[in-house]
Structure 1
């Protein structure tokens, strides 16, 4: 029962992530990523998702996050860390890249959670 509740929370969270992306220039890409993860979390409450689909999704999310890793490293070398919470600044692409990197890692963790087997009630 606990996994179902967590999955509903994850579904709502990733759906909100997806909706927030609608104001981005590349909104279709990011909306699709987050909404796909949201659907995985929802569907997992009703049906077993094949492990191969989960692993392919996790691999894709982590591979895509690797493209943003250098921007994340650039961000780590800045002094003003709270900039990450501000507006996008075109002169500082590492801000958006870091947000995307972290978002993809969070999405991957949401899918990794689906690999966790529910505990059986011992009789």
Structure 2
């Protein structure tokens, strides 16, 4: 695929679905204490998916977004490991418990990985630019 060729209809549909999902993710963050940060992260990924459907985003810029997401995820990795060591894995779906910071850290880690996968897909579909 050359950089001036439009995306296939199937890839555009996937991007629209990704955009909608990340907008939903962004809106769900607004009730959190750090909701603006997480809204911004998910909204940037949503806009990236939408924009890349119509105009190619440069590969270096997409890689920069990916690196930023993975670097931020790295800060939460130790909390994710703490979660993996617990016996009650279902508590991740419950309320935030302040004496168990690994719950929120694990949610954030997984959210960042999902966002990174969305950006990786954008890199993949615009691979040959």
Q: Where do 4+ consecutive residues of structure 1 move more than 3 Å?
A: none
TM-score normalised per structure 2: 0.90
The structure where helix makes up a greater share of residues is 2
Name which structure has the greater RCO, CA cutoff 8 Å, separation 6+: 2
TM-score normalised per structure 1: 0.94
Unmatched segments (≥5 aa) in structure 2: 1-8
- Whether 1:66 and 2:74 are equivalent positions in the alignment is yes
Unmatched segments (≥5 aa) in structure 1: 119-123
- Whether 1:19 and 2:20 are equivalent positions in the alignment is no
The equivalent residue for 2:4 is: none
Cα deviation 1:53-103 (Å, max 9, x = unaligned) = 100000000000000000000000000000011111101100000000000
- Whether 1:3 and 2:11 are equivalent positions in the alignment is yes
Cα deviation 1:19-51 (Å, max 9, x = unaligned) = 000001011110000000000000011100011
Q: How many residue pairs get matched?
A: 118
18, 40, 48: which one pairs with 1:32?
A: 40
